[in-house]
Amino acid sequence: MDKQTERTLYWHSFIYEVNRATASLMYLLQGMETVRARELPPYDGFPSNLKYSFPSAPKPPGVDVPLLLGGPSFDPHTMLDPQGEAEQLAFKGWVVQVYDQIWEANFRNHFKDGYEGDDLIRPLSQPFGDFGHIRNDLVHNKGVAKATETGKCKVLTWFEPGERMILGMRHVLDFLNQAGFMHQIGGFIPSGAHAAWSSIHLKESDLKKGTIPKLISVGASFDRMLEDGSVYYAIAVVFENGVFCNIAIHDGPSEKTGPEWIEFVNKTDIDAKGNLRLANGQILHRESLYHDCVDGFLNPGPAPYGMQVGGPWYKFRRG
């Protein structure tokens, strides 16, 4: 097996493991939502002044949970509410699983070297470097961002130094987008198991009604640079409800070098009004951008001409 094929197989296995861990997180969050949807009645065996006992149903068939939490000051909703203790435990477990058990223990060494070409760096270096800082503060600093860890993040700029780190799905989606996972064809392993992001769960009626969700993540991914100095790249955007898409751009020709193109494209961001601001200053309004993404979900067209992104996305070397 040649080196490039081996890397590709490792890459798809890597995507599979991260997607599987993310699916596990979502199952946990779904379970918490199920409990929240039920009324939590008082336990008859306690005095009436003890308002709550916990846990209450639902429980897996045949499983007896040998824990009862109660007392005048205990409110199970503070444990199960959105952003509560149970949710944060699930998010923290996801971070540790993805960074420690998947990235550090299994795959990091396989992506040390760049892909072919002198102007490339190994994929994912910045998002995973940031993710490691965030993981360190979650595990070793009681979930408070430190200037020497989370404060060093360049891409995953979620928390300020001194801020308590409360995680949500917007952070999960932003990480997956910046790492390039949401736009891949999916991961698989030799046994045949596979895992990929899908829009199947999104109903057309739900997508086209209600409030336009927030734009929460923007990332640039280079495809290739041509001999005339023009480039193909994509702006990957994700909305709060999980709708995502690529905006394919062919720019140039230009006298810009690879690092100069990277510096230019990295000016793409979300403006103060929540709209997408491209590197050249053009504004793509959130409402129209969302409807375009939804149309792409419901009526997918052919891949943009000239775009050849497949396998790990990469960035040009800086400097």
Taking the chain (319 residues) in runs of 10, the rounded mean pLDDT of each run is 75 88 90 69 41 42 58 75 88 96 87 49 69 96 97 94 94 88 66 63 58 88 78 84 78 84 85 92 90 72 48 30
Question: What is the per-residue pLDDT for 54?
Answer: 41
CB proximity list for 122: less than 8 A, separation 6 or greater? 111, 112, 113, 114, 115
Q: Give the amino acid at 33.
A: E
DSSP secondary-structure letter at 109?
G
Q: Which two tokens stand for residue 167?
A: 């995680």
Question: What is the per-residue pLDDT for 40?
Answer: 47
What's the rounded Cα separation, in Å, for the pair 137 and 131? Answer: 10
Q: Which helix (H) or strand (E) holds 91?
A: helix 85-96
Three-state secondary-structure class, residue 253: coil
What global pTM score does this model have? 0.76
Question: What is the per-residue pLDDT for 42?
Answer: 42
Question: What is the per-residue pLDDT for 317?
Answer: 29
Q: What's the alpha-carbon Rg for the chain, to the nearest Å?
A: 22
Question: What is the per-residue pLDDT for 174?
Answer: 92
- How far from the centroid of its chain's Cα atoms is residue 300's Cα? 22
For residue 138, which phi and psi values (nearest 5 degrees)?
-65, -40
CB proximity list for 272: less than 8 A, separation 6 or greater? none
Question: What is the per-residue pLDDT for 231?
Answer: 82
Question: What is the per-residue pLDDT for 64?
Answer: 53
* Residue 136 near residue 149, CB atoms below 8 Å: yes
Question: What is the per-residue pLDDT for 312?
Answer: 32
